[in-house]
Amino acid sequence: MSDASPFPSGAWRGFYVYTADGARHSMSLHLTFKEGVVSGSGDDDVGRFTIKGRYDAQSHDIHWTKQYVGRHSVFYAGFGEPARIWGTWELEGNYGRFTGGFKIWPGDGGESLGRTAEAEVETPDAIALPAETRH
């Protein structure tokens, strides 16, 4: 059975937007996409994390849990397009519910500046959604 993953396995990078400050927080990831399962690891300004989730090769819908090592977890849900995945994240904890947007694309940051700028321009901004608008 061959894997018809619409997403390439390997290095990915991108950012998440935290509603409270509106800033883009960089993250780097190493992801594996195989037979509907996404897994991997990465790091960002919060710390190191693992990724476990699922994707649909037909609709390109994707969701995963980002588990920070020894800390909290964050739920991500999104949609894949050629060369990018974007969507929203959600964290529920003792201090309430927090949401925001994210965007990732293949690459490890070693691409040429022109290609990096192209990925940034082509990719629509991730939008932070207030918690009360989520279903």
pLDDT at 71 over 80: yes
CATH code for position 95: 2.40.128.120
CB 41 within 8 A of CB 52: no
Strand, coil or helix: what is 50? strand
What's the whole-model pTM score? Answer: 0.79
End-to-end, the C-alpha distance of the chain in Å comes to: 36
Residue 115 within any structural domain of the chain: yes
Per the structure, how many domains does the chain have?
1
The DSSP bridge partners found for residue 26 are 15
Domain extent for 84: 10-133
Residue 4: inside a domain, yes or no? no
Dist CA 85 CA 127 (whole Å) = 13
Domain-located, residue 61: yes
Residue 23 lies in a domain: yes
Helices (H), 1-60: none
In the prediction, which pLDDT does 110 show?
62
- CA distance linking residue 114 with residue 74, whole number of Å: 32
Q: How confident is the model at residue 105 (pLDDT cuts 50, 70, 90)?
A: very high
Average pLDDT taken over every residue of the chain? 83
**Inside any domain, residue 77:** yes
